[in-house]
Amino acid sequence: MRLAERVLAGSLAIVALMAVLVVILADRRLGERLVAETVRDLRQEAQFVGSEWHPVTDADSLADAAGERLHRRVTLIDSTGRVVGDTDFDPPALFALENHKSRPEVLDARRTGFGWSRRVSPSAGDEELYVAVSTPGGVTRLSVSTAALSEILGGARRDVLIAAAIAVLVAVALTVLFARRVSRPIVELRNVARELAAGRLEQRPHLAAPGEIGDLAEALSSMSEQLVTRLDAVKQSEALTAAIVESLAEGVVALDPPGNVVRMNDSARRLLGLRRDLALPVPTAELPRDRALRDVIASALRGQTMTLVEALVGGRTLALSARPLVAGGAVITIYDLTTLRRLETVRSDFVANVSHELRTPLTAIHGFAETLADDDVPEAQRRRFAETISINAQRMQRLVDDLLDLGRIESGGWVPAPAMLDVRGSLAEALAPYQPTAADKGLVIRTSIAHDASRIYADPTAFRQIVGNLVDNAVRYTTTGEIEISTRRISGGIVVGVRDTGVGIPPAHLDRIFERFYRVDPSRSRADGGTGLGLAIVKHLIEAHGGWVKAESEVGRGTLLSAMFPDAEE
């Protein structure tokens, strides 16, 4: 088939397709417009009919009169959804009709004042267009059969098809003339395409010789395949490299032979504290001015391989490695050691704190035990020494128990099993062990349970331990006055507060009192037998529930410790 014939056939197909699309779109738009116009008219008519509907009006007579005058089906529906008037039904038949309150157009009319729908009528049996408006008497609904709309659309569709057929004939005539003109330059395009496919990209078409569409397609296809294959290979390699580099948690920095940064992944930008929008390439002077980092870069550019050189950059501890490239330049890798070093510091601090906490009771036990070994110690002193040994042994036992609890919680070995608890009963169990100590100090422990916060969603054992630790802390640091345990509801959960009238906490210490072994007054806390772990355990138990804990205090006035327990998820 010659080019002109192919162009003719293709153009004819395109024009025919366009004509069909025009017919379809016109038909749809006309249908939508017709429905919209009909809905608007029915709405106006429904409002007019509704204005004549009064409590003393015979609804069925009004519907019949309006339907005959407007040539519509008129339905009047009272506020309960019962049909009280309909053009197509006599009064006896109205009672057999279904309640219309669930009809979509009626629902919309009640909600927004206006509604419409297009569906099959259960009573009439044909498809109808319903329009309903809310009126003082109830809902006035008018409907019309969609068959009339279909007839209008059918006539319009025939007119559009005739116009489309005429357009196709005109397009065919124009395409014949156009195809004859187009076929000549195609041949030269074919030859030029062959030259381009052979790699001679300097060739340019002169559009002088005739040709065939098949040869042109073959030449263009050959050229496209070569170009696409080469470009795809480059793009795939580049995309794979970029994906690998960007997915690394370690930072990667690539340097060219002069020492400019030509590539850097997001991890490197984050670890070095650089902007994400920093345009590359940039000189190494843009990198942080750290001596170790500069030495590693200089050594790598000189051809030396560097391994795990630590540097402190922007408050982070980084391990730097560098490897020179064969063609010049180098690749620097950066690994963040900050978390590891912080954990090492925490571990050493923890060991030091535990050793310090155990040293005092162990020293006391050892000293008094040696003294008791002497036969000359009076009986009264023996009893006092034995009591001191017992007190320090109990303190060591509490410290070990708290350490075991804290380790089990932090390691994930404990998971809360929350249930709905009665706050009053649970508080009574939690407060019982501390009542004697409070009474000895002359302290009053009272509770204030809000009506809407009398039940809480929490692990029973954890709840008692949390309240117990908070109350124990309050009893230790309160000498006179009272301790109040209260509950209140907030958005998303219930807050349990323990307020005391003790010595209070200076503002500088408030942010740290939930740390392990942190004490505002170390000497007093140890004298009272505290382990320094109670509030840390409270914090971990609350966070395991998904809640939070905070402290508010005023020196000399007292402290409020609050723990929030989230509500149960639905």
Asked if residue 149 lies in contact with residue 38, where contact means CB atoms within 8 angstroms, the answer is yes
CA angle, 41 as apex, 36 and 46 as ends, to 5°?
A: 125
What CA–CA distance (Å, rounded) separates 83 from 93?
A: 10
Q: How are beta strands 482-490 and 444-449 bridged, if at all?
A: parallel
Q: Is residue 165 a part of any domain in this protein? A: no
Same domain, 305 and 381: no
Residue 487: its pLDDT value, please?
Answer: 92
CATH number at residue 271: 3.30.450.20
Q: Left (φ > 0), alpha (ψ -120 to 50) or beta: where does 340 sit? A: alpha
Q: For position 476, which CATH number holds?
A: 3.30.565.10
The answer on 513 and 427 residing in a single domain is yes
Q: Which of 76-80, 209-213, 420-424, 545-549 has the lowest mean pLDDT?
A: 209-213
Mean per-residue pLDDT, 160-178: 74
7 and 121, same domain (yes or no)? yes
- Burial readout 477-515 (b: 16 or more C-beta within 10 A, e: otherwise): bbeeebbbbbbeeeeebbbbbbbbbbbbbeeeeeeebbe
pLDDT in tens, 79-99: 888 888 888 888 888 887 888
- The DSSP bridge partners found for residue 108 are none
Phi, then psi, of 249 in degrees rounded to 5 = -75, -25
Nearest-angstrom CA–CA distance, 266 and 252: 9
Q: Which residues have a Cβ under 8 Å from the Cβ of 44 and sit 6 or more positions away?
A: none
Are 457 and 426 in contact, with CB atoms under 8 Å apart? no
Residues 136 and 268 in one domain: no
Q: Which residue type, as a one-letter code, is found at position 450?
A: A
Question: Rounded to an integer, what distance in angstroms lies between the CA atom of residue 394 and that of residue 527?
Answer: 13
Residue 385 within any structural domain of the chain: yes
**pLDDT at position 296:** 81
Q: What is the pLDDT at residue 489?
A: 92
Whether 11 and 139 map to the same domain: the answer is: yes
CB-based contact 43:143 (threshold 8 Å): no
Please report which helix (H) or strand (E) contains residue 551, including its range: strand 548-554
DSSP-derived 3-state class of residue 153: helix
Domain co-membership, 386 together with 525? no
Q: For the residues 280-292, what does the mean pLDDT come to?
A: 77
Count of structural domains, the chain? 4
- Please, are residues 187 and 218 in contact by the beta-carbon 8 Å criterion? no
Look at 11 and 40; give whichever has higher pLDDT: 40
Last residue of a domain, one of 92, 122, 151: 151
Indicate if 421 and 560 belong to the same structural domain. Answer: yes
* Higher pLDDT among residues 99 and 56, named by residue: 99
CA nearest neighbour of 334 among 267, 280, 411 = 267
The alpha carbon torsion through 389, 395, 399, 400 (nearest 10 deg) reads 40
Most confident of 167-171, 435-439, 519-523, 528-532: 435-439
Please check whether residue 227 lies inside any domain of the structure: no
Task: In whole angstroms, give the CA distance from residue 236 to residue 233.
Answer: 5
Beta carbons within 10 angstroms of residue 359's beta carbon: 10
- For residue 372, pLDDT over 80 is answered with no
Please check whether residues 394 and 264 belong to one and the same domain.
no
Q: Is residue 216 part of a domain?
A: no
The reported pLDDT for the residue numbered 240 is 81
Q: 131-140, 295-304, 551-560 — which is least confidently predicted?
A: 295-304
CB 43 within 8 A of CB 131: yes
Nearest to 534, CA basis, from 490, 558, 498: 498
**Of 4-18, 239-253, 323-337, 461-475, the least confident:** 4-18
Strand spans (E) along 171-250: none
- Provide the residue type at 222 as one letter: S
What's the pLDDT at 276?
Answer: 76
Residue 395 has pLDDT above 80, yes or no: no
Report the distance separating Cα 472 and Cα 475, nearest Å.
Answer: 5
The answer, yes or no, to whether residue 46 has pLDDT greater than 60, is yes
Q: Are residues 378 and 295 in the same domain?
A: no
Question: Model's pTM, two decimal places?
Answer: 0.41
Least confident of 9-18, 45-54, 241-250, 345-354: 345-354
CA neighbours closer than 13 Å in the CB half-sphere of residue 50: 23
pLDDT higher than 70, residue 438: yes
Q: Is the peptide bond before 281 cis (omega within 30 degrees of 0)?
A: yes
The string of pLDDT tens digits covering residues 483-503 is 999 999 999 899 999 999 988
Do 368 and 463 lie in one domain? The reply is no
Tell which of 108, 127, 151 closes a domain: 151
Residue 262 lies in a domain: yes
Alpha-carbon distance of 377 to 389, in angstroms, equals: 15
More confident residue, 379 or 525: 379
User: What is the Cα–Cα distance from 161 to 165, expressed in whole angstroms?
Assistant: 6
Q: Is 300 helix (H, G, I), strand (E, B) or coil?
A: helix
Q: Kindly report, residue by residue over 215-260, the tens digit of the pLDDT.
A: 555 565 566 667 667 767 877 887 787 777 777 778 888 888 887 8
Residue 381 belongs to what domain range?
361-409
- Of the residues 151, 177, 198, the one at which a domain ends: 151
Among candidates 306, 406, 303, 394, which has minimal Cα distance to 353?
406
Q: What pLDDT, on the 0 to 100 scale, is given for residue 390?
A: 74
Q: Does the pLDDT at position 541 exceed 90?
A: no
115-126 pLDDT per residue, tens: 988 888 776 667
565: nearest Cα among 544, 536, 534: 544
Let me know whether 51 and 94 are in one domain: yes
Question: Which range has the worst mean pLDDT, 19-23, 250-254, 371-375, 518-522?
Answer: 518-522
pLDDT (average), residues 100-119: 87
- Of the two residues 380 and 403, the one the predictor is more confident about is 380
Q: Starting at the earlier edge strand, list the strands of the sheet with 558-566.
A: 444-449, 482-490, 493-500, 558-566, 548-554
- What's the pLDDT at 353? 62
DSSP secondary structure, 514-567, as one string:
TSTT--SSHHHHHHTT--S-HHHHHHHHHHHHT-EEEEEEETTTEEEEEEEEEP
Asked if residue 484 is part of any domain, the answer here is yes
Q: What whole-number percentage of the chain has pLDDT above 90?
A: 7
In a domain, 217, yes or no: no
What pLDDT score was predicted for residue 202?
58
395 and 523 together in one domain: no
pLDDT for res 52: 85
Query: Distance between CA 119 and CA 103 in Å, rounded?
Result: 10
Is 220 within a domain? no
* Mean residue pLDDT across the chain: 77
